[in-house]
Amino acid sequence: MERILRGIMRYRNTTREQMVKEFQKVRDNPEPKAVFFTCMDSRMIPTRYTDTHVGDMFVVRNAGNLIPHAQHFQDEYFSCEPAALELGCVVNDIRHIIVCGHSDCKAMNLLYQLRDPEFSSKLNRRLSPLRSWLCTHANTSLDKFQEWRNAGMKDPLIFSSETPLRRFVAYIDTEQKFAIEDKLSQINTLQQMSNIASYGFLKARLESHDLHIHALWFDIYTGDIYYFSRGAKRFVAVDESSVDQLSSEVRRFYS
């Protein structure tokens, strides 16, 4: 905690004045452009690797960048994630939702271990809120991963997106660059796009193409950011050779 307090003092003496100016600039007319879901991992600093600033986006963080499917809520949505979707996309009329997973995700590493029935037993879930959270809200991701792995890990996966009739194909790590847990992390990131679309209060905007869902994936150890391209049907590294083509895809499909 002392380190935090010392950091606050450095902030007061360096960036505070500039940040206050930015706060004042957006105070009366904030125009956030995205709701950004990512993991609570301390290595994930989304405003830094997206170069976004005060007022640019709402950021929602939890273990494993999960958005619970609407089927888990019978009478009312009593979770932070759907509340954030309503605040961002209904109250503030934001048009873009981004889900960002990452490599070496401790939640995804644990989810991979939860393939073991004993490890994921009801008794163990009662002892561990994290295991319970993952078993409840990431089980669909794990099932999809296991089905894909049992089939040889070469076939594409199919995900539903903005509407049940709109589906997209995804090839996972065709170059075999990432660990098995990272492949699970990428599948989990894409599954959250389907989960987001399950909420009825977003249905009209999704069906009218007024609201769009995207996926990013961050490689912790190289600093590379990957964007899921529905055209390329895979995660594509955002770099000098790809950014123009990816930007063109975004304008064509999501503008």
Question: Hey, what are 23's tokens?
Answer: 């706060």
d(CA 111, CA 243): 32
Asked if residue 39 belongs to a known ligand binding site, the reply is yes
Q: Which of 157, 159, 135 is nearest to 145 (CA)?
A: 157
Q: Could you give the 3-state DSSP secondary structure of residue 212?
A: strand
Distance of CA 194 to the CA centre of its chain: 11
Start-to-end CA span in the chain (Å):
44
Asked if residue 102 belongs to a known ligand binding site, the reply is yes
Asked if residue 105 belongs to a known ligand binding site, the reply is yes
DSSP 64-128: TS----GGG-SSS--SHHHHHHIIIIIIS---EEEEEEETT-HHHHHHHHTTSTTTT-HHHHHH-
For 115, 122, 135, 147, 218, the CA distances from 143, given in Å and listed in that order, are 9, 18, 11, 6, 23
Beta strands in 12-110 (DSSP E): 34-39, 57-62, 96-102
Q: Which residues are annotated as a binding site for Zn(2+)?
A: 39, 41, 102, 105
Q: Which residues are annotated as a binding site?
A: 39, 41, 102, 105
